[in-house]
């Protein structure tokens, strides 16, 4: 099975892209709703719980891990790859960075992701000449969770958050939070049609498909676990997967 984890329900936007590329593959999802959000937590906390979750996913039969959570991808991916040597671990940064094709790169994410500076660091390793601008957009997640996907207020918040990218002539914009692809239309409108908007979930799903191409097919049963009752799951699962999902509530930690 493909093990996917996130701090909450946002990772379902990553599941959406995996299902598009690999519809026949079973998947085990863990959303750490009891401890969400990770975006405002410290690095040690994020590392500790990410490791616990991977351990648990492996015990339940996951053979491949996708860190759908951007905060965990930013702060814990290297640590986790080192700790779980031999396990294929996919994270949200690497695959998206390979798809960057501009000079001025904008990054938007949670305060934790932006503060970590990981995107900046990895983008500059990839190409030291890039100009990078980043901004935390903490209102986007609750706007999505309200279902205010295409409301005037949402367009105004997006305008406020993204105007500096527009003014600076950013040519690529990376959506470094699992919730943000659900606002993609509003975000595209705010930055203008000349800007390439990169959804890292799409990049990860493509890379995963490529990795699995010459492997034996994975087996198992798709299940969605959450460590506490998720808020507005129906709204989010409808937005991402166009269907209701049956959550299994279980806090193994």
Binding site for a copy of itself (CB under 8 A): 33-37, 40-42, 45, 111, 138-139, 141-143, 145-146, 152-153, 156-157, 160, 228-232, 249
Dist. CA 131–CA 106, nearest whole Å: 9
In the complex, minimum distance from the CB of residue 161 to a copy of itself, in angstroms, rounded to a whole number:
10
| Three-state DSSP state, 147 | coil
CB of 51 to a copy of itself, least distance (A): 16
- 156 or 234: CB nearest a copy of itself: 156
Residues 177, 237: Cα–Cα separation, whole Å: 16
Q: Which is nearer to a copy of itself, 121 or 151 (CB)?
A: 151
Cα–Cα distance measured from residue 171 to residue 97, given in angstroms and rounded to the nearest whole number:
14
Q: In the bound complex, what is the minimum distance in angstroms from residue 49's beta carbon to a copy of itself?
A: 10
Our answer to whether residue 177 is catalytic in this structure is yes
Which CB, 35 or 122, lies closer to a copy of itself? 35
The answer, yes or no, to whether the previous bond of 37 is cis (omega within 30 of 0) is yes
Active-site entry in 1, 28, 67, 69: 69
8 Å CB contact between 104 and 98: no
Shortest reach from residue 245's CB to a copy of itself, in Å = 18
Q: What is the DSSP letter of 182?
A: G
Residue from 18, 141, 144, 177 carrying the catalytic annotation: 177
Q: Which residue, 186 or 204, is less far from a copy of itself as judged by CB?
A: 186
Q: Is residue 224 exposed (0-12), middle (13-18) or buried (19+ Cβ within 10 Å)?
A: buried
Region for 61 from its dihedrals, namely left if φ exceeds 0, alpha if ψ lies in -120 to 50, beta otherwise:
left
Catalytic residues: 69, 177
């Amino acid at each position: 099975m493909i093990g996917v984890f996130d701090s909450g329900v946002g990772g379902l936007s990553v599941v959406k892209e995996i299902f598009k590329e690999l519809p026949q593959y079973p998947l085990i999802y863990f959303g750490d709703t009891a401890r969400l959000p990770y975006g405002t937590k410290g690095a040690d906390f994020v590392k500790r719980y990410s490791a616990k979750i991977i351990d648990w996913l492996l015990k339940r039969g996951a053979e491949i891990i996708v860190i759908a959570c951007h905060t965990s991808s930013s702060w814990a991916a290297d640590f986790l790859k080192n700790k779980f040597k031999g396990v294929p671990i996919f994270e949200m940064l690497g695959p998206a960075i390979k798809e960057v094709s501009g000079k001025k790169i904008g990054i938007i994410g949670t305060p934790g992701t932006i503060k970590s500076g990981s995107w900046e660091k990895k983008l500059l390793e990839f190409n030291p000449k890039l100009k990078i601008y980043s901004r935390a957009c903490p209102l986007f997640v609750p706007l999505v969770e309200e279902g205010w996907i295409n409301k005037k207020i949402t367009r105004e918040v997006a305008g406020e958050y993204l105007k500096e990218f527009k003014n600076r002539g950013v040519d690529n914009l990376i959506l470094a939070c699992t919730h943000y692809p659900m606002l993609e239309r509003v975000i595209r409108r705010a930055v203008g049609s000349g800007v390439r908007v990169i959804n890292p979930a799409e990049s990860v799903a493509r890379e995963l498909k490529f990795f699995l191409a010459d492997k034996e097919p994975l087996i198992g049963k798709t299940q969605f676990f959450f460590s506490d009752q998720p808020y507005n799951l129906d709204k989010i699962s409808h937005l991402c997967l166009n269907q209701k999902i049956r959550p299994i509530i279980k806090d193994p930690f």
